[in-house]
Amino acid sequence: MSVPDLELDCRDLRCPMPIIELARHLDDVAPGQVLAVVAHDPAARVDVPAWCRMREQEYVGEDVADDGAPRYLVRRVV
């Protein structure tokens, strides 16, 4: 995957905090740019794509951060 424009470190946060951080920082990237949420919380695997559907943002997919932590990629649409 490509390098995200912004990466949020949510490794130590539990549900719903990774999603709250995603929502809070979406405006920190321009439309077309990618924001990544790095989170160990297993709920993020379901929550991030669901949030994207509800907020009409593009869920790009999942890869791993440099340390092997799960990373969820979101492209800002609007």
Active site residues: 15
Helix or strand (DSSP H, E) at 46: helix 44-55
d(CA 26, CA 31): 9
Helix axes 17-25, 44-55, angle to 10 degrees: 40
- Report the alpha-carbon distance of residue 76 to residue 43 in Å, rounded: 21
